Structure 1
């Protein structure tokens, strides 16, 4: 989806942000110095949402215009803070992906064991209770065994992708060219 809303200059997708003060870019609850501060949640959500909406065909460029000058924060500090923040988010998401895969493997082991047990019980029921009640009970046990495989299969086949997608978004943002201009009123 491309429209006038999304600028492309020199082969770069432009994300333009205007703020009155550099403090609007950082989480002020974080006591760390500016270079190590977390970015503001609204600022990062905006960057992520924009990145989600635009095509991946073009690399990103973040243009930040700041109205009030700040002596203690230089454009390089802001650029580095943005890069480091999103690189850290990539590490967190990779860790989450690894944890999900380990959980999926554990659940798969449990699910396969339970399925095997249910199939053995179903065979026993088939031999020992040959009536309609036995058939119904046997089918219920088999269904329960297969249902126990639902979550591991969901984790292995589907739940990894949203995490992987966030990693891709964070990678694009960490690699984005960043331009910071202090504008005078």
Structure 2
């Protein structure tokens, strides 16, 4: 159990710093993509830590590898990667709400059309079959509104949770230890 104010540590034990990065990415270390396995490992451990506790990522390297000083590029690469992932999640949230507004307008138009048809049927026809059609149109109208309501009420929560986690990881203290 961590002490109040202490940091939750995520430890990675690697042969060399290159294991952290995607082998197919040609960019220098500072801009390179983390390997999906490294990202998944870090994220899964971070999800287990208390939400309010700062995070420390400790990278243990058996050797420095071909790079001159892993302590110079690994912390910036890890925090930079998660800062970019945080921006991606913020963009996804904005896109969700933009799509939600469009879906809401479409849903509102669909609901208004269904309700207008119900009103028109009420004014024109009578009988049990007309009543079935009216009720069906009311149901269809509300079903059209289902997805926009779901987007605004529920779909943004997992994205916000991920964004917050990525922010915590971007703000993490990264320490590299060799030897």
Q: Smaller-chain TM-score range?
A: over 0.9
Instruction: Select which of 89, 92, 96 maps to 1:93.
Output: 89
Residue 24 (structure 1) shift: 0.9
- The reply to whether residue 53 of structure 1 matches residue 48 of structure 2 is yes
Instruction: Select which of 35, 38, 47 maps to 2:33.
Output: 38
Normalising by the residue count of structure 2, what TM-score does the alignment of the two structures yield?
Answer: 0.95
**Aligned partner of residue 29 in structure 1, secondary structure:** coil
Normalising by the residue count of structure 1, what TM-score does the alignment of the two structures yield?
Answer: 0.92
Residue 74 (structure 1) shift: 2.3
Mapping of residues 76-91 of structure 1, within 5 Å: 76-91=72-87
Instruction: Select which of 148, 156, 159 maps to 1:160.
Output: 156
**Aligned partner of residue 18 in structure 1, secondary structure:** strand
Give 5+ residue unaligned stretches, structure 1. none
Distance 1:41 1:33 in 2: 17
Residue 35 (structure 1) shift: 1.4
Give 5+ residue unaligned stretches, structure 2. none
Distance 2:117 2:160 in 1: 39
Show the counterpart of 1:124: 120
Show the counterpart of 1:74: 70
Residue 124 (structure 1) shift: 1.0
- The reply to whether residue 112 of structure 1 matches residue 108 of structure 2 is yes
Aligned residues: 178
Residues 66, 56 of structure 1: alpha-carbon distance in 2 compared, 3 angstrom cutoff? same
Residues 48, 134 of structure 1: alpha-carbon distance in 2 compared, 3 angstrom cutoff? same
Distance 1:77 1:9 in 2: 30
Residue 157 (structure 1) shift: 0.8
Which stretch shows the higher mean deviation, 53-62 or 66-75? 66-75
Structure 1 residues 2-38: Cα deviation after superposition (integer angstroms, max 9, x where no partner) = 6xxxx66971111111011211100111011111110
8 A Cα contact 1:11 1:59, kept in partner: yes
Residue 76 (structure 1) shift: 2.0
Q: For the aligned residues, what is the CA RMSD?
A: 1.5
